[in-house]
Chains A and B, each alone.
Chain A
Amino acid sequence: MITEKFKKVILDELNLEDFDIQDDTTADQVPGWDSLNHINVILAVEKAFNVHFKGIEVLKCQNIGALQNLVNSKLEQK
């Protein structure tokens, strides 16, 4: 389940007013989220939630829901 905060971080980073993000939405469906911008989104998420991802953890994410789960699991470990 995509939280409001998580969604807002992504939209702010990509300068989007609004965009419907669901668990199975993939990065390339979101306007502006291309391979170059990808890293900025990841850094923004890390900063907003004060977590640190391992490279392989992010690479394994196949959709935005998986990234949300990754954030959740990092927050639980805290």
Chain B
Amino acid sequence: MISLTSTDYDAIRLSVEVAVAATLLSLPFGFAAAYLVTFVKFRGKVLAEVFVNLPLTLPPVVVGYLLLLLLGKHGWLGSLLTEAGIRIIFTLKAAVLASAVVGFPLLVRSLRTGMEAIDPQLINASRSLGARWYDTLVTVILPLSVPGLVAGSSLMFARSLGEFGATIIVAGNIPGVTQTIPLAIYEYTSSPGSETMALSLCLIAVAISVVVLFLHEWMARKMARRD
């Protein structure tokens, strides 16, 4: 039997909010990064690819710690933000940022796979028909990248739902403010007699993931039918 408290409902809401915000925030940057590594020749491309994929191989706790160093009160960016009156650390913004950074490589990889599947002759056709590079980007590359975009967004959303290590370092575990489902489960498992509550949230997490994956499959099939 699932039993949820108001804090659990907050955790569910915050998880979804963080996952949606992280995915939406990452989309333009992910698209730009995938475009650059797929279509543009530039010096240091390998370095850029390593940098983009780094969060995939680093322990999330390390990512969180690096974000803390960057965005903390005395951090390089954090000090500037503090002067501007913006606080990131231990807020929902930090949770979104942590999820975005950790899930970013998954989004870029899916988008890149989609972009690499585009026939280069379509791009040549577009250019020879008078389209400038940004016109080609919007009218050819973007629409043909939609399958990669959908796949990447779903993966990123699912990854964000499960994000724990980086989030707990930069956003803390504040119920109703930054506590997402994984953080709430962690708290329950640390407290004796809260197994039922932990299991309830686990089931909710499974249900959300299943819904996301179903949506992903449905959209993929719909697009395959359209093609």
A and B part of one assembly: no
